[in-house]
Structure 1
Amino acid sequence: MNKLASKTAIVTGGSRGIGANICTSLAAAGAKVVVNYARNQAAAEEVVSRIEAAGGQAINVQADVSLAADVRKLFDVAEQEFGQVDILVNNAGVVHYKTIEVTTDEEFDRVMRVNVYGTFYGMREAATRLADGGRVINLSSSAVRMMLPTYGPYCATKGAVEQMTRSFAKEMGPRGITVNAVSPGSTETEMFLGNNESEKIERMRNLAALGRLGKVEDMGPVVVFLASEDGGWGTGQVLPVNGGTA
């Protein structure tokens, strides 16, 4: 499958979980992949090694997406190594499970800076540096459409991502660039399983019509579809990938 042959993709937060699967899925479809990480270089190198072992091309690049200068550097390195960037996947994110009452200023600022500012900085670079006909794919969350206690600050960030997705789609449409969001449900990632008690995990599993949590392998193929010509007529959309949870 070479739907993305000759394309270059940047995936923020690509070293683990959903991001890692997105990286390997894009590479399997023929794209050259820039695997971004913030701190875990070893995990990013492992993703690159898997891609290269399968015959693909990838590099890892350290960048903190909450910093505008780091996001510019991410595009700089991608262009130096692989040429013009065609696909941006804004996947990097942090979770926050606390009630609004007890959330501190510092905690709220952190989740906003990574989830909202990071996505904004990526789209702002893409506005002038992405190839015509390119693709921007943002990661949201199906929790946005659910009334879940302790999810308020996190859902606020993902609601912002969804609205920026719609506006940016209108702005980029004249250049043939599509902008969409993927909205996973509860997924078996280190981030989700490590931040929730077993009772809550079981409750989220039972909410899905298909009766299970998502797997990281459920997400990559959807991103490949949106990044390819097959998904070229959809833009400004939020695509739930949640097994019928919401």
Structure 2
Amino acid sequence: MAKIDLRNKVVLVAGGAKNLGGLISREVAKHGSDVVVHYNSDSTKQAAEETLKAVQDLGRKAILIQSDLTKVENVTALFKEAKDKLGRVDVAVNTVGMVLKKPFSETTEEEFDTMSAVNSKSAYFFIQEAGKSLEDNGKIITLATSLLGAYTGFYSTYAGGKAPIEHYTRAASKEFGERGISVNSVAPGPMDTPFFYGQESPEAVAYHKSASALGGLTKIEDIVPIITFLATEGWWITGQTILANGGYTTK
């Protein structure tokens, strides 16, 4: 039986300093896990330190690791440092992503390359390294986007960059399953975080709020229980992309 709880486990959260990643880091600590809090930019350092302290205040161990996960050597080093300092990694959650809302005809090659690296390449090699590094019966969870089920313009490099995660998830789940490792992705709807508002006009925000069947934007508090479920009682779910968006869109 591959089911695990989170007591005395190690959870690595890429992009784990703030917003959804920060809440995941805190929540798994409440469940009894030690936490690897990864962050990318210097501007996130203060939030990362606050998350570190929050985990430690819950009586769990935590470490901070800053790196750019679009470079494969940094992904490898992330998992190595986690295992060197905390002894193991049981659950790997990747919340890393970057949004660009721009007309297809105006997207530059540089923007395309950046979006592909952040949203697709880093996800691929994170899953790859997690498959090598996790303990048997581990869990790999990648954050995608519910735009994978939408028919819309302007998000070609964001939704397009996230789209391969579905197949990476399926393929990895087949290959890692013999070790009891489940691999899933969670695709939230537009989330009520600064990550969302920076790209949207007031009119677009109003539309997104009105588009979900249950009303309003997705909250990070709506997504975290799905992550913890997949890491525990939901262990039998694997190879899936779960659209969690209050009825914003479906496939």
State the partner residue of 1:178. 182
User: Is 1:215–2:219 an aligned residue pair?
Assistant: yes
| Shift of residue 57, structure 1, vs aligned partner | 2.3
**TM-score under structure 2 normalisation?**
0.94
- Distance in 1 between the 2:193 and 2:22 partners? 11
The residue matched to 2:70 in structure 1 has which SS?
coil
| Shift of residue 3, structure 1, vs aligned partner | 3.0
User: Is 1:147–2:134 an aligned residue pair?
Assistant: no
- Distance in 2 between the 1:27 and 1:146 partners? 34
- Distance in 1 between the 2:214 and 2:175 partners? 37
User: Is 1:200–2:197 an aligned residue pair?
Assistant: no
State the partner residue of 1:127. 131
Summarize the alignment of residues 58-207 of structure 1 with structure 2, pairs less than 5 Å apart: 58-207=62-211
The residue matched to 2:160 in structure 1 has which SS?
helix
Aligned counterpart in structure 2 of residue 31 of structure 1, from 20, 30, 33: 33
| Shift of residue 168, structure 1, vs aligned partner | 0.7
- Distance in 2 between the 1:176 and 1:35 partners? 24
* One-letter code aligned to 1:32: D
* One-letter code aligned to 2:234: G
| Shift of residue 236, structure 1, vs aligned partner | 0.4
Percent of pairs with identical residues: 37
The residue matched to 1:42 in structure 2 has which SS?
helix
- Does the 8 A contact of 1:35 with 1:58 survive in 2? yes
| Shift of residue 84, structure 1, vs aligned partner | 1.5
| Shift of residue 113, structure 1, vs aligned partner | 0.4
| Shift of residue 115, structure 1, vs aligned partner | 1.0
* One-letter code aligned to 1:20: G
State the partner residue of 2:244. 241
The residue matched to 1:218 in structure 2 has which SS?
helix
Structure 2 residue ranges without an equivalent (≥5): none
The residue matched to 1:85 in structure 2 has which SS?
coil
| Shift of residue 55, structure 1, vs aligned partner | 2.4
- Does the 8 A contact of 1:111 with 1:154 survive in 2? yes
- Distance in 1 between the 2:33 and 2:243 partners? 24
Superposed CA deviations along residues 68-110 of structure 1, whole A, max 9, x for unmatched, are 1111111111101111211111111111111211110010111
| Shift of residue 220, structure 1, vs aligned partner | 1.2
- Does the 8 A contact of 1:6 with 1:31 survive in 2? yes
Structure 1 residue ranges without an equivalent (≥5): none
Superposed CA deviations along residues 121-162 of structure 1, whole A, max 9, x for unmatched, are 111111221111000001110011101210111111111111
| Shift of residue 14, structure 1, vs aligned partner | 1.0
- Distance in 2 between the 1:213 and 1:137 partners? 22
| Shift of residue 225, structure 1, vs aligned partner | 0.6
State the partner residue of 1:13. 15
- Distance in 2 between the 1:202 and 1:106 partners? 31
State the partner residue of 1:224. 228
* One-letter code aligned to 1:209: A
| Shift of residue 54, structure 1, vs aligned partner | 2.5
Superposed CA deviations along residues 184-232 of structure 1, whole A, max 9, x for unmatched, are 001111110122111101100111111111111111111011011x011
Aligned counterpart in structure 1 of residue 24 of structure 2, from 12, 15, 22: 22
CA RMSD between the two structures: 1.2
